[in-house]
């Protein structure tokens, strides 16, 4: 059996940020009590029990939305419910918006078993935070990071976005510098993407030009390397611990996803199974169920590569067969094409992206689409 993770989706936020296309909603536009949402989560977990069985969790991840609006005691109840799957090695993360936490609440989350925190800082610059429609300012963001460390979240991730409207490369670097100085052990550094069906999608802001974006990226990579942060995937940098939960997705291992819009994936009896929950929190809380389906064999090579190539280490040829049940010959020709294009290196045992391949990942993935 493949390693297994649990994802718990909490879909509510104080308000909707203009760039965000996650399955998240303004909390007070719903009349759903958190206790009722918790009960729906527990029922949802039970509905997967034939696939989860007595398997241990590598990681549990409370994502959103803004899980830091869900009380520590309700989060603790969920953790108690799944406690037979938790060991002392289980990474238990939650995402938190800096505008919703205090030293007291962070200590409470820590004491119910959360051992990794991911703070959605986005920027330490007040002007950018305002343009991004964030509910917190730079001072709140710094305070939240400091409180997280005081509450003994030594496994601390900070989310920073770059390529923001009107952002200079100096400003982007300054955000990274502050995050490093604070002492986080992991950084997720995302380039802002303008998504359809968001406020920014409808009224696109003016973004920095291509030259500035390229400068931000190369200076940022260099800066983080100098500060001891290793880039181990497209947007992830670690100085201490990698994120086990994200690695579990990217290795194409198994995950049970519970909550509104959550996705699950299991490799069971030679088949890759998926489930996508109903996105609407009301429908989910009312108990509308989603069916588990088997993924077409033709779609699996692309799905595997889409995830696995995000991580930049060597991939053994055996790994494809062990995680998908399909023979390596199914992908070999297309990998050789990538080798001929200078995007991949391959020997008898394994293959790995070249430096060019890392910057042209979409071109590699396209080979697996036909």
Ligand X SMILES: C[S@@+](CC[C@H](N)C(=O)[O-])C[C@H]1O[C@@H](n2cnc3c(N)ncnc32)[C@H](O)[C@@H]1O
Residue 122 binds ligand X, judged by CB under 6 A: yes
Please list every residue from 152 through 181 that binds ligand SF4, using CB under 6 A: none
Q: Pick between residue 65 and residue 357 the one whose CB is nearest to ligand SF4.
A: 65
79 contacts: CB under 8 Å, gap ≥ 6: 60, 86, 92, 112, 113
Residue of 199, 189, 192 lying closest to 219 (CA atoms)? 189
**What residue 74 binds from ligand SF4, ligand X, none (CB within 5 to 8 A, per partner kind)?**
none
* Cβ atoms 92, 79 nearer than 8 A: yes
Please list every residue from 31 through 90 that binds ligand X, using CB under 6 A: 63-64, 66
Which of 47, 97, 188, 248 is the binder for ligand SF4 (CB under 6 A)? 97
CA-to-CA separations, 51 to 87, 156, 187, 258, 325, in angstroms, rounded: 19, 31, 33, 13, 17
Which of 2, 14, 20, 219 is the binder for ligand X (CB under 6 A)? 20
Residue 117 binds ligand X, judged by CB under 6 A: no
Residue 198 binds ligand SF4, judged by CB under 6 A: no
Q: Pick between residue 20 and residue 273 the one whose CB is nearest to ligand SF4.
A: 20
Residue of 150, 217, 220, 208 lying closest to 180 (CA atoms)? 220
Minimum separation from the CB atom of position 39 to ligand X (A):
23
* Cβ atoms 169, 218 nearer than 8 A: no
Minimum separation from the CB atom of position 192 to ligand X (A):
5
Q: Pick between residue 49 and residue 130 the one whose CB is nearest to ligand X.
A: 130
Residue 13 binds ligand SF4, judged by CB under 6 A: yes
Q: Are strands 4-10 and 57-64 parallel, antiparallel or unpaired?
A: parallel
DSSP 297: G
What sign does the CA torsion over 44, 47, 53, 58 have? Answer: negative
Backbone φ/ψ region at 267: left (φ over 0), alpha (ψ -120 to 50), beta: beta
* Cβ atoms 91, 244 nearer than 8 A: yes
Minimum separation from the CB atom of position 167 to ligand SF4 (A):
17
The mark string for 135-174 relative to ligand X (x by CB under 6 A, - otherwise) is ------------------------x-x-------------
Count, in order, helices (H) and strands (E) of the chain: 16, 17
Residue 16 binds ligand SF4, judged by CB under 6 A: yes
Residue 281 binds ligand SF4, judged by CB under 6 A: no
Residues near ligand X (CB under 6 A): 19-20, 22, 63-64, 66, 95, 97, 120, 122, 159, 161, 190, 192-193, 195
Residues near ligand SF4 (CB under 6 A): 13, 16-17, 20, 22, 24, 64-66, 97, 120
């Amino acid at each position: 059996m493949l390693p297994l993770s649990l994802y718990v989706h909490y879909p509510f936020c104080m308000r909707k940020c203009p760039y965000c296309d996650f399955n998240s909603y303004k909390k007070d536009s719903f009349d759903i009590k958190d206790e009722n949402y918790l009960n729906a989560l527990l029922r949802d977990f039970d509905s997967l029990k034939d696939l989860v069985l007595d398997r241990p969790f590598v990681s549990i991840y409370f994502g959103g939305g803004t899980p830091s609006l869900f009380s520590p005691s309700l989060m603790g109840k969920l953790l108690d419910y799944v406690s037979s799957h938790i060991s002392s090695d289980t990474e238990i993360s939650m995402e938190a918006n800096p505008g919703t936490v205090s030293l007291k609440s962070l200590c409470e989350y820590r004491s119910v078993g959360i051992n990794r925190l991911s703070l959605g800082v986005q920027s330490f610059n007040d002007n950018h935070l305002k343009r991004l429609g964030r509910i917190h300012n730079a001072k709140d963001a710094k305070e939240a990071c400091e409180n997280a460390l005081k509450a003994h979240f030594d496994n601390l991730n900070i989310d920073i976005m770059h390529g923001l409207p009107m952002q200079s490369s100096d400003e982007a670097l300054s955000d990274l510098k502050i995050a490093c100085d604070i002492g986080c052990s992991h950084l997720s550094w995302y380039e802002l993407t303008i998504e359809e069906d968001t406020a920014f999608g409808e009224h696109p802001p003016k973004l920095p030009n291509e030259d500035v974006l390229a400068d931000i990226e190369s200076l940022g990579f260099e800066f983080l390397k100098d500060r001891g942060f290793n880039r181990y995937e497209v947007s992830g940098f670690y100085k201490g611990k990698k994120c086990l939960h994200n690695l579990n997705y990217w290795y194409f291992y198994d995950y049970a996803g519970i909550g509104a819009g959550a996705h699950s994936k299991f490799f069971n009896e030679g088949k890759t199974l998926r489930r996508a929950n109903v996105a609407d929190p009301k429908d989910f809380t009312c108990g509308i169920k989603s069916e588990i389906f088997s993924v077409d064999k033709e779609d699996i090579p692309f799905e595997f590569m889409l995830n696995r190539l995000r991580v930049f280490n060597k991939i053994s040829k055996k790994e494809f067969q062990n995680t998908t049940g399909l023979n390596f010959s199914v992908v070999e020709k297309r990998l050789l094409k990538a080798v001929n294009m200078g995007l991949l290196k391959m020997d008898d045992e394994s293959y790995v992206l070249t430096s060019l391949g890392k910057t042209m990942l979409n071109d590699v993935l396209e080979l697996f689409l036909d």
